[in-house]
Amino acid sequence: MKDMNFRKLDIIGGWIAFAIATFVYVSTMEPTVSFWDCGEFIACSYKLQIGHPPGAPLFLMIGRFFSMWTAPEQAAYMVNLISALSSSFTILFLFWTISALGKKIVKKTSEEWNTGHTVAVLGSSLVGSLAYTFSDTFWFSAVEAEVYAMSSLFTAIVFWAILRWEQVSEEKGADHWLIFIAYLMGLSIGVHLLNLLAIPTIAFVYYFKKFKPSIKGTILTFLISVIILGFVQKGVIPGIVEMASKFELVFVNSLNLPFNTGAILHITLMVSALVFGIYLTHQKNSNKWLLLAVLVALSFLVGSVSTMGLVAAATVTAVFVMIPKINLKEVNTGLLCLTVIIIGYSSYTMVVVRSNANPPMDENDPENMFSLLSYLNREQYGAQPLAYGHYFNTPLDNKKPYIDGEKQWFRDLENGEYIVSDDKKGSVPNYAKEFMTVFPRMWSQEARHIGAYKSWSEFKGKPIKYRTVSGKTETIRKPKFMENLKFFFRHQVNWMYIRYFMWNFAGRQSDVQGHSNVIDGNWISGIGFLDGARLGSQKNLPAFLSDNKSRNKYYMLPFLLGLIGLFFQFNRSKRDFVLVTLLFFFTGMAIILYLNQYPYQPRERDYAYAGSFYAYTIWIGLGVMGIISFIAEKVKSNQVIAGGLATLICLVSVPGLMAKDNWDDHDRSNRYTALEFAKMYLDSCEKDAVLFTNGDNDTFPLWYVQEVEEYRTDVRVVNLSLLNTDWYINQMKRAAYDSKPTPFTIPEPKYRQGTRDYVPVIDRNEKKEYVDVKRIVEFVTNDKNKAMLGNQRRMNYSPTKLYSLKVDTQKVLTNGTVSSEKAGEVLPELRWSITKNFLLKKDILMLDLLAHFNWDRPVYFAITTGDGAYLGLKEYFQLEGLAYRLVPFKGTSPDGQTGYVNSAIMYDNLMNNFSYGNVKGRDVYVDHNILRMCMNLRNNFARCADQLLTEGKKGMAIEVLDKCQEEMPEYNVPYNYFMLPIAELYFKLDEKEKGKQILESMSNSYTAESDYYMGLKTEHYNSVKNNSQQAVSILYRVNLLSKQYLPDDELTAQIEENFKRLETEFSVKHK
């Protein structure tokens, strides 16, 4: 009876936790699109389009269901709501998981269940589940349209479900729970692969329940669980498609049958084998060897003839040979589990179906088995070595520097066959074996990554003489293995995992992405001496640290409560401790081992380890039980009262504290910045423009506003990163909504993947003449113009670095490309040079567009693309907002920045057309990512005002500066270097008080910042030398402006006094 009462209370408690979490997440959810991948996910959900590899078709279909009932402007809210509800359901199952584990502890240590036990278990469950509710990483993912919230839900359900199976495993039909778990695993593939990492935990629950544990059995179970994980991830997911592609090749190319014949036959055979295998396991006198033959066939049909398929076939064969009598029921359950995994995985059918419809967003164009396999394998992102591989400076083998890669197949619709688009001969680097290593952690050959490797590992290396491919003998310093391990532990383990872990359970310093200095992105505790030992004194912190909303201090209370729970579970229920530990390890450190991340990641990666933090909050919950148990044993007080008080204290001191500190930097409820910034990019362009972008944040939000809200669909957004792929070029050549096809003219076979992925620049322009881009494009795309390279491959090349582009002077004056003021500066042709030694495919296509756009369409570059994207054209840029327009005159700027400022267009955009996403709202959290965008905007305001002043339009210049101050006030967007020209402009415009206010504020903030740096010990100061130098440099500029424009003001004397003092201290510090 008491058990029944507990179960009712357990259910009610779970739903209470769910209600709290739902209120929190819906209240703080972003009402529209967010930065990073969110815009892409919402756009793909709304119209069932194809997102970046490896896709998330189930998430997109659920997103489509949620968003199809609303107006386009509400679609983002509804897809965000999926994450909020997924997260609150995760909390529900976490509550029930903690209660199930807590109940097992009670039953092991007590003969009779009582009310005190109920209070202890439910109190623990509430504390643990709410701790995860308010944790930094999970809360972040819960309020935006990303896959991680739903992936966490799948992990939570399967862990809870295997505990439910454990409770009823001896009952009839209990294996239905295993099949249910397998089905969820299959479904989760269509969201994210993180859920598969629960497989080892599930395997151990099964082992502990069905077998008597032993060291041998434990090791064997671990190995089998890893094999199952590998078979699903590296076998089933790519294997089915890989085997289907092999069937396709035979039936289409060899037997001349229609496309998809092989794939259909493969699916038919696979389904038949599954059905026949299940049928055989239902027969009492089933032929053992016939069943083995079916299982071996299935291993290859599902896992392909790759390593995983062979391992699966060998494992099945070994089991059948070694075990005289096969348990048909267990084989049946296994086959049913495999069947439902494949059924869940079949959500990827949507990807193929929708890709064949050629929607505007169709990344990788996965409409056949070969392109789908590439999509699933994430081939466009490359691969990193794991168990064995090269270091960052490993030379190529001097005898055979390159080896052949796998052929790349292309579906030739015209001839009805698959053809080799790239034979990959001599395309794969073959590194010298003397410089290879096991467990390579420092492998990236990008210059800035190499610098970071050396810094993190304190690199010295071991000098080895080696005759390189060039024939010269060089001394190469091979990294020592201990240096390799130093980087692994210091960066990959500590910086990329433990730091994130402590963010969630100790405290977080700021939201600025850090790279090992003492002021950006570290974990803190709020305990002065602990933080001071690692990060320097925490007294007299400058405002950018002390007032940062994301500065959260938990005083390590969640961490300590989790440790109590960890030891408590270890002492009271070792088997369950093993289960939680496995979940903690495989969703945390195992990911670190697998990802092998390089330094300077584009963004913080804590979201990848949310499952590990989930596991730790189980221990936080059990920590409450540990405290209650200690009180009950030592104090002998009323167990109910003791349990209630302990729960209340833990609720306030852990999830309560986390909620208080985290709310302000997780509340996005009034934030519209990503949406409005996307519109700014588009509104910076004239009608029918081509806008080149480069990164996630200047592309995905734009896709969202065009695809979902149908805003400025006349502008064609061209992402330069994707322009290196043939499928994206094909899509750009098609019309989309109100946007005309991009004027690319190169025929598809000439840019097909594997063809002209890059071309070297071999300068044979002896006369140093500027060559018209049409001739360059014709030369590069002519198959006869090839040169022999060092890898013994003949390749197309560019014969010059000097380019020119003819200008139709009459057209550019009549179609609005050039304003009347600039009519006299129009050039007959543009001339420029490049510094690159090779052209990527995107560069060739950009030249193709320049050669054939005929000045009929405006061409823009987003200001965030960077110099590397401009192909040497930036002296012909005109700034009109958040984009530079290509113009036929020299776009010089007095301040040395890129582009001539068209004040009329800029003024209209900044004052009338742009909306700033509520950045000025006092309750709006302006994170570091948004701050960086605001710096670009501030700079634009200053440049526009400066140009207006130059043109004698003082009133308009003041309006622009005042608008900047109004929309990006100091309390949300702290003053920095970009405020100096604004202050100076105010003085030039006779707005003395406004300029003075800025100088005074900057002097105070940068003096405080410099004082903080000067007070740091040497070991801490060294990591912020550049920041310190920048602060003193800004104070120098502030001092100059103050003396120039406020020569007799008391403020000037104060500023100069502070500057001279800090300049002296800085000089002493740098001796």
537 and 645 in a single domain? The answer is yes
- Among 367-376, 443-452, 764-773, the minimum mean pLDDT is found in 764-773
Is there a single domain that holds both residue 839 and residue 923?
Answer: no
Q: Given this model, what pLDDT does residue 514 score?
A: 87
- pLDDT given at position 381: 86
- Concatenated DSSP letters for 826-876? --SEEEEE---SEEEHHHHHHHHHHHH-TT-S-EEEETTS-GGGSTT-GGG
Residues 960 and 998 in one domain: no
Q: Is the dihedral of CA 364, 367, 368, 372 positive or negative?
A: positive
- Cβ contact 66:78 at 8 Å: yes
Measured CA to CA, the distance from residue 824 to residue 820 in angstroms comes to: 8
Report CA-CA distances (Å) from 600 to 604, 606, 609, 692, 883: 9, 14, 18, 24, 26
**Cα–Cα dist 52/62, whole Å:** 17
| pLDDT top residue among 540 and 89 | 89
- The rounded distance, in Å, linking the Cα atoms of 719 and 704 is 14
Tokens of 567: 């030891």
Q: Is the pLDDT of residue 465 over 70?
A: yes
Question: Distance between CA atoms of 263 and 265, rounded to whole angstroms?
Answer: 5
What element of type H or E holds 429? strand 428-429
Q: Please, which residues bridge with residue 465 across strands?
A: 475
335 inside domain = no
Q: pLDDT tens digits for 574-630?
A: 999 999 999 999 999 999 999 999 999 999 999 999 999 999 999 999 999 999 998
Q: Are 745 and 846 in contact (CB under 8 A)?
A: no
Nearest to 985 by CA among 1005, 1002, 999: 999
Those residues with Cβ within 8 angstroms of residue 973's Cβ, 6 or more apart along the chain or in another chain? 919, 926, 931, 934, 938
Q: How confident is the model at residue 307 (pLDDT cuts 50, 70, 90)?
A: confident
Query: What is the greatest pairwise CA distance in the chain?
Result: 105
For range 242-247, the mean pLDDT:
95
Residue 513 and residue 499: Cα distance in Å, rounded?
Answer: 12
Out of 249-258, 431-440, 760-769, 1013-1022, pick the least confident: 760-769
Tell me whether residue 1005 is in a domain: yes
CA-to-CA distance for 110 and 639, rounded, in angstroms? Answer: 13
Check whether 966 has a pLDDT greater than 70. yes
Mean pLDDT of the chain: 94
pLDDT per residue over 878-908, tens digit each? 999 999 999 999 977 777 899 999 999 999 9
* 5 — pLDDT class (breaks 50, 70, 90): confident
Same domain, 1050 and 1000: yes
pTM to 2 decimal places: 0.94
Residue-level pLDDT at 792: 66
- 639 within 8 A of 114, measured Cβ to Cβ: yes
φ/ψ of residue 547, rounded to 5: -100, 0
Check whether residue 939 and residue 880 sit in a common domain. no
Split into its structural domains, the chain has a count of: 5
- Is residue 762 located within the same domain as residue 879? yes
> How confident is the model over 429-439, as a mean pLDDT?
95
Domain identity same for 593 and 636: yes
Confirm whether 922 is domain-assigned.
yes
- Look at 354 and 307; give whichever has higher pLDDT: 354
CA distances from 691 to 462, 614, 712, 884 (A): 49, 42, 12, 9
How many C-beta atoms lie closer than 10 Å to residue 391's C-beta?
26
What DSSP designation does 667 have? -
Beta strand spans in 306-426 (E) = 388-389, 402-403, 408-412, 417-422
Residue pair 235/216 in contact by the 8 Å Cβ criterion: no
- Structure confidence at residue 1 as a pLDDT band (50, 70, 90): very low
Q: Pick the range with the lowest mean pLDDT from 549-563, 813-827, 969-983.
A: 813-827
First to last CA, the chain: 78
Closest CA to 288 of 337, 333, 323, 335: 323
Q: Residue 576's closest CA among 162, 874, 285?
A: 162
Contacts (Cβ under 8 Å, ≥6 apart) of 927:
511, 550, 665
Which of 632, 664, 696 finishes a domain? 664
- For the chain, percent of residues with pLDDT exceeding 90: 84
Residue 893's SS3 state is coil
Of the candidates 179, 942, 94, 213, which has an alpha carbon nearest to the alpha carbon of residue 583? 94
pLDDT reported for residue 200: 96
Query: Do 702 and 744 belong to one domain?
Result: yes
Of 435, 458, 484, the position where a domain reaches its end is 484
Does 535 fall in a domain? yes
Whether 711 and 807 map to the same domain: the answer is yes
Residue 857 belongs to a domain: yes
Give per-residue pLDDT as tens, 907-930: 999 999 999 999 999 999 999 999
Residue 1029 in any domain: the answer is yes
Cα distances from 328 to residues 165, 220, 290, 626, in angstroms, run 20, 21, 13, 44
390 and 480 share one domain = yes
Is residue 917 located within the same domain as residue 880? no
Classify residue 6: in a domain, yes or no: no
What confidence tier does 425 reach under pLDDT thresholds 50, 70, 90? Answer: confident
Let me know if residue 271 belongs to a domain. Answer: no
At 136, is the pLDDT very low, low, confident or very high (cuts 50, 70, 90)? very high
Does pLDDT of 242 surpass 70? Answer: yes
Q: What is the pLDDT of residues 121-134, one digit of tens each?
A: 999 999 999 999 99
Where among 881, 901, 921 does a domain terminate?
901
Q: Are strands 507-508 and 473-478 parallel, antiparallel or unpaired?
A: unpaired
Structure tokens at 451: 């610098």
Per-residue burial over 244-259, b if 16 or more Cβ lie within 10 Å, else e, is bbebbbebbeeeebeb
Using CB atoms within 10 A of its CB, is residue 160 exposed (0-12), middle (13-18) or buried (19+)? buried
φ, ψ at 280 (rounded to 5°):
-60, -35
- pLDDT tens digit sequence for 187-221: 999 999 999 999 999 999 999 999 999 999 999 99
pLDDT in tens, 42-60: 999 999 999 999 999 999 9
Question: For the chain, how many helices (H) and strands (E)?
Answer: 42, 23
What range defines the domain where residue 927 resides? 910-974
Query: What mean pLDDT is predicted for residues 962-975?
Result: 96
Q: What is the pLDDT of residue 820?
A: 86
**Other CB atoms closer than 10 Å to residue 811's CB: what's the count?**
14
Work out the average pLDDT over 57-76: 96
Q: Considering Cα of 419, then 425, then 427, then 431, what sign does the dihedral take? A: positive
Which are the contacts of 686, defined by CB distance < 8 A and separation ≥ 6? Answer: 816, 858, 885
- Which pLDDT score is estimated for 3? 67
**How far is it, in rounded angstroms, from Cα 101 to Cα 128?**
12
State residue 58's pLDDT score: 98
**103-132: buried (b, 16+ CB within 10 Å) or exposed (e) per residue?**
bbbbeeeeeebeebbbbbbbbbbbbbbbbb
924 and 1002 in a single domain? The answer is no
- For residues 695 and 981, the model is more confident at 981
pLDDT digits (tens, 9 = 90+) for 742-753: 999 999 999 998
Average pLDDT over residues 312-334: 88
Alpha helices in 110-147 (DSSP H): 115-133, 136-142
